[in-house]
Structure 1
């Protein structure tokens, strides 16, 4: 893909700043540490898999951009009203973040991302998304399985299956921040069956099926039988 490289001098001598697919990234040999400011966090990204599960080597273009990493530094927080709200994600936390979030930094031969705290979807201490702890007003939902047959009994191909927008709530975040810095708990609870906006959120595959993480505002209705 297209990448525009900019060399800035003299302060940034030895540093390349690039823009790729709308995501800025920085490669530097001059600096050994980065201190995020405000409500930003620095995440050391998880290495992209270069092979499939069957051991087939993937070309660079086919490798998925990682969405996981470890928080290595945090800013001082942000001001809301008269209150300072500290970063809620601790250093050392394993996190999942939005797919195209942040500015990519490469230093100490390691790739990092600096991003807003709000770009972090949740904390994940295991390798399975079902264990995700959502942040802010986000909700983790296990997606209902697609119907295999039409009402007339015709078997559907994978491509023609209707994308489901119904699922079961697995976990909810602590709630969004108000203007005064206080959190408003979510009214949706784990175990609820919900209907959500069709193309909202971030999708993940887990050991027990497909999951989606979205904002509480993307939930249209709570369903009951």
Structure 2
């Protein structure tokens, strides 16, 4: 069946009136089976066979992916398709995965005259920054190719509270949001201020200086700290508690 090639300019005018295209980048859209197109001929019915591919697909002829430098290849954990009560979630309601298994690592990086191997090993279960890396479809599974620095920490259990931060990451249990104003008025969920205070649960080993020497972080488990409000990655524990993992540079003060 014939396939028509569309340029971004030829699609833009018609796409503006299609709610189904909101948020899509034209460069990622493939159109098939339209035949000969005339100006204004595209309708919402025309886009029923719209295909969007976000990941880079590795052809079957390639049998392995070898990360270079300090990059790591992670096999992405499958997204939860049902709630705990068994309700099937639509694709739009499924949260984007932030964890997976390391399946390949690069040779490491060099800082100054020091050669450093990767601090994560093949088989490790890791949590990574939400928007990090490049998605790769390989051997029929979704993977993420990212820098080691984008890995937040190691997680050997199914509960985020057990996260072991890497590098300069700080893992914090978020304090509960204030329920009332200073005058005693009860706050609704929508009007509650996003918390930016919490207790440090665990810290990474530290940062590396220009010569590759490890510099420990200035905060320790048990510290109550004030952190940048919109920094880091948010998580929810199995008990419903809120946690956040962020860089030490996003910690602004210790509270006593």
Alignment TM-score, normalising by the size of structure 1? 0.88
Q: Deviations over 1:178-209 (max 9, x none)?
A: 11112101121100000111111111001341
Which sections of structure 2, spanning at least 5 residues, go unmatched? 1-23, 30-51
Which sections of structure 1, spanning at least 5 residues, go unmatched? 7-17
* Structure 2 residue 243 is matched with structure 1 residue 220: no
- CA shift at 1:49, angstroms? 1.0
Whether the aligned pair in 2 keeps the contact of 1:26 and 1:103 (CA below 8 Å) is: no
* Structure 2 residue 109 is matched with structure 1 residue 78: yes
Q: Distance in 2 between matches of 1:173 and 1:94?
A: 16
Select the structure with the greater relative contact order (CA < 8 A; seq sep ≥ 6): 1
Q: Distance in 2 between matches of 1:108 and 1:97?
A: 22
- The structure with more helix, counted as a fraction of residues: 2
Per the alignment, residue 44 of structure 2 pairs with: none
Per the alignment, residue 109 of structure 1 pairs with: 140
The residue correspondences of 1:66-215 to structure 2 (distance < 5 A) are 66-208=97-239, 209-215=241-247
Radius of gyration: which is bigger?
2
Per the alignment, residue 36 of structure 2 pairs with: none
- Count of residue pairs brought into register by the alignment: 211
Q: Distance in 2 between matches of 1:184 and 1:25?
A: 37
- The structure with more strand, counted as a fraction of residues: 1
- CA shift at 1:53, angstroms? 2.2
Per the alignment, residue 25 of structure 2 pairs with: 2
Backbone CA RMSD of aligned residues: 1.8
Give the stretch that moved more between structures: 183-192 or 59-68.
59-68
Whether the aligned pair in 2 keeps the contact of 1:203 and 1:211 (CA below 8 Å) is: yes
